[in-house]
Amino acid sequence: MLEELPATRVAWLAGLVDGEGCLYARHSTKTQNSIEVRLELQTVSLTMIDAVAEILDALNVSYTREAPRMQPKSTRPAIRLRVTPKASLHKLLTALLPYLVNKRPEAVRLLAFLDAAVAVKHYRLQPADHLVAHDLKALKRLA
């Protein structure tokens, strides 16, 4: 749990997310009545991904980890880690928020949506929710 995890580890992860992470939102391809959200980290360092996975496990955050893949113009395979369940992303962003710098505005915007989305079992999108993906894109341009 968060109480057992040193703040320096959470701050380290926040710095990694600030520099290498991507916060993402889009309307579901299946239906326009839901929004898919995720945080992605990609690196060629297996040691770094293992450290991130250890922190996520300690925070009880669900994630997926892809097998290493060669990327264009890369000499080493990259490993991608994704946090997609809304409740897990909410928990992670809440823990990282005090330490985020560059991605702080994106995290605040995404948390505004997630606060409501995780509070109930079946969340019905509100009119402002349809702007989440647009807002994140706009904030990325400002960073």
Write the class of the CATH domain 7-142.
alpha beta
Alpha helices in 21-85 (DSSP H): 46-58
Backbone angles phi, psi at 26, to 5 degrees: -160, 160
DSSP 24: E
pTM for the whole structure: 0.90
Tell me which residue of 135, 134, 84, 107 sits closest to 18, measured CA to CA: 107
Please report, to the nearest 10 degrees, the dihedral formed by the alpha carbons of residues 55, 57, 61, 63 taken in order.
Answer: 100
Segment 36-74, tens digit of pLDDT: 999 999 999 999 999 999 999 999 999 999 988 888 887
Q: How confident is the model at residue 32 (pLDDT cuts 50, 70, 90)?
A: low
Beta bridge partners of 78: 69
